[in-house]
Structure 1
Amino acid sequence: MLKVQEIRELIKLVDQSNIDEFEYEHEGSKIKMKKKGNEAAVVQQVQPAAVQALAPAPQPVQPAAVKVEEPQTEAPAQAPALQAETAEDLHKIVSPMVGTFYQSSSPDADVYVKAGSKVSNDSIVCIVEAMKLFNEIEAEVNGEIVEVLVKDGQLVEYGQPLFLVKPE
């Protein structure tokens, strides 16, 4: 089974290439990606009967594929100084899947990070629960958390920004 990060890398590679269709199968797991113009479809099939789509919902879902368009996010209302810094200097940690955002490993545990926390590229910053699986999300950048953009227990979409990080 491929890890979420590996699937994200495959999506980037297919998106940047001239390949229109890509299929990968290993030990009963199957990933199939198709792109047509600005639209792309990505399907991960874990078992023959179960299909998991990796896409920024809310898009209409067909039985075998999901149309994916570039996620359009609106900047939250912030102070003008932070907006200027966000556009140029800050790195966004985004959700790699649709699921529920959790700031800690359990309700009584301390949060992984908060505004002002220092992170390295392999620091765990949160958990996104999808299909009863708890997926640890890493920072993927060295720096300082500037802002947490979602609340604990909130549903998040694929590609939705979760944290703003000032890279070092």
Structure 2
Amino acid sequence: MLKVQEIRELIKLVDQSSIDEFSYEVEGSKIKMKKKSAGQQVIVEPARVVTETPAPIQPVQTAPAAPVVQVDEQKQTSKEENVQETNLHKITSPMVGTFYQSPSPDADVYVKPGSKVSKDSIVCIVEAMKLFNEIEAEVNGEIVEILVKDGQLVEYGQPLFLVKPE
């Protein structure tokens, strides 16, 4: 069975490619992805087990389709418009992974709104495939807003922080 992170990577690769439909079978599981204009649909169905004794043919019932994952583009667009209007710098995720505000659950957060940062200041960690990647601020300035919650899954290029440059 594929791990969730492997499925996420497959979704990312299909999304970035020019193919419209993708099907993959491994270890008794089947994954089928189809692109739509508003998002992607991922369906994971259990594989059918073939028995050696012939049985009468009956209709096969499949598992209900997984919900279509869609990003609310209107909300994202309005936040991006606000960024452009106020000349704030966006710190974006360089990869697909899990966002963490602190180096460990019992440690203080790296930054919070109002924190001053420099170009090489670590602002968060994005964990991808068991690797913890430290994300730097990229600019000198002040953190205005944190756009994601601790432990939230983030996509490649997703804005994480808004920074008022100095």
Deviations 1:143-166 (A, max 9, x none): 000000000000000000000000
Q: Distance in 1 between matches of 2:80 and 2:151?
A: 26
2:165 match: 167
What secondary structure, in the 3-state scheme, does the structure 2 residue paired with 1:126 have? strand
Q: Distance in 1 between matches of 2:106 and 2:127?
A: 17
Which of these two proteins has the greater Rg computed from alpha carbons?
A: 2
The 3 A distance-change label for structure 1 pair 119 and 137 is same
1:87 match: 84
Q: How does 1:120-131 map to 2 (within 5 A)?
A: 120-131=118-129
Structure 1: state its 5+ residue gaps.
Answer: 1-51
The 3 A distance-change label for structure 1 pair 112 and 74 is farther
Aligned AA (1:60)? V
TM normalised by structure 1 equals: 0.54
Q: How does 1:51-90 map to 2 (within 5 A)?
A: 58=12, 60=14, 66-67=16-17, 74-75=74-75, 86-88=83-85, 89-90=87-88
RMSD between aligned residues: 3.0
Moved over 3 A (4+): 72-78, 82-85
Cα deviation, residue 60, structure 1: 2.5
Structure 2: state its 5+ residue gaps.
Answer: 1-5, 19-70
Aligned AA (1:107)? P
For these two proteins, the number of residue pairs brought into alignment is 105
Q: Kindly, what percent of the aligned residue pairs are identical?
A: 72
